[in-house]
Structure 1
């Protein structure tokens, strides 16, 4: 084997390895964008649903009107993107990972609050003499604060995700 043949082999290996690295980086970047898009869509749609679903009742509390004894049952897992991809969030930077985890934990806490609200409406404690409307109004105030907290975090995370989705 001549030196020329050896150099051709070495050059071919370097070109192949470089192509592999570039393709891997491109694939990783694409996966990151796709995952960021999925998280954005899930967060945005949940935010819109919750805003629409709680808007009427929360406005009544703000206006000091009677609290409606109606509720939306939480029956589904609304965090499918997060639950199915939590092991992949390490592809994002540390701040976004932290913000995603805080957002989803707070959102799940909000749904626990809604579940407690449902239970209070369905099964009021008949042994205690309490004004159910006062309790529900106070609980609504807690829900407002939780929802606002979740929405603030959601907007921050969505801005971070937009920067990933929009980048090349």
Structure 2
């Protein structure tokens, strides 16, 4: 499948999954999975980050428009898209020449786990910090961040296990 068509399909699929299904799930009163950030994880690595930042902005903006959340998803998504390259270099120890050959599915599980956990925790912490916008609710921010991150990561790894193509 063409890489551009795959990215468009992934964008639309994750956006619709988030706004039509997952935004309506509120497990135990405060846990909500935000699986749309998987798009940022799977977006191809390139030296030019402008297409990623533009797409991340549009993804966050669409989620905000459907969720009526005033830009918090846009900022959170844009931030992890911006810092993604730093964590990519730190965790995977890849150089610029390895960007085109990089595929998250072909990396060791421990590195993929660290990469996704760090970016998810950053995203969720920013999201819930902006939602509460107060230091009086800092314990709620931490609880929501940790619990929603666990639920999001569980869905991500379960989905990647189910939809993984058999490598021959």
- Normalising to structure 1: TM-score of the pair? 0.28
Higher RCO, Cα 8 Å, sep 6+: 1
- Normalising to structure 2: TM-score of the pair? 0.28
Q: Bigger radius of gyration, 1 or 2?
A: 1
Structure with a larger share of its residues in helix: 1
